[in-house]
Amino acid sequence: MKRRGALIALLVSVAVALSGCEESPAPAAPSTEDTPLTAVPNAMLGRAGDSAIFLAVVPGAGSVRVYACDGADLMTATVNQWFSGAFDGTGPVTLRAGGFQVILRADGGGYAGDFVLPDGTALPFTATTPRDGDALLDAELRDPVSGAVTRDGDVIVLGGESRGAMIPTRPRRCRPVQVQGSNGQTTIVTVCS
């Protein structure tokens, strides 16, 4: 009886461990209630053509950074790229990263240009001062015990929609665990943390 109780306890603990570690094709986005969001100052926002890609242009002293993302659920973005380079404030300048290009120039009080996909398709955009409720947000998820950053990301909120990505800051650690069932059959399961 004691052996059966120990086996049940082991199976329950493995099941609990697996419930939070299963691989899934579309993991749920982390709750923003637990994620401190900080608006990035001076960011100008826009959309690339009629695509799902949002862009944020962040000017600096003699430089510019551009963030492009199409991830509506924060975890499955196909475009999630930062670009950076020297910029004289007028342009045009071409920035390249991850197979994509941003061709950027100053345009009135904002920026205009093209977001170029790896296949050469150019999607025009205009990035302007955000309206109320729109912003480029920097997000961090921290482990409540250690305080270590476990996911880091950026989110663009534009016109009531959001695009962004939350990226794990450490690789998943998985290991095989041997479990013996009540019928004596042994099974190997993968436990990830």
Report which DSSP code applies to 32: G
Q: Which residue has the higher pLDDT, 104 or 178?
A: 104
Say what the pLDDT of residue 37 is: 75
- Residue 169, both tokens: 């800051």
List helix spans (H) across the chain.
Answer: 2-19
Percent share of the chain, pLDDT over 70: 71
Is the pLDDT assigned to residue 122 strictly greater than 60? Answer: yes
Q: pLDDT band for position 179 (50/70/90)?
A: confident
- Pick from 69-78, 87-96, 138-147: least confident: 69-78
Measure the CA–CA gap between 107 and 89, rounded to whole angstroms: 10
Q: CB atoms < 10 A from the CB of 22, how many?
A: 9
Placement of tokens 């690339």 in the chain: 48
Q: Are 154 and 167 in contact (CB under 8 A)?
A: no
9 or 91: which leads in pLDDT: 91
Sequence-distant (≥ 6) Cβ neighbours of residue 10 within 8 angstroms: 179
14 pLDDT more than 60 = no
The conformation of residue 129, written as its DSSP 8-state character, comes to P
pLDDT of residue 72: 63
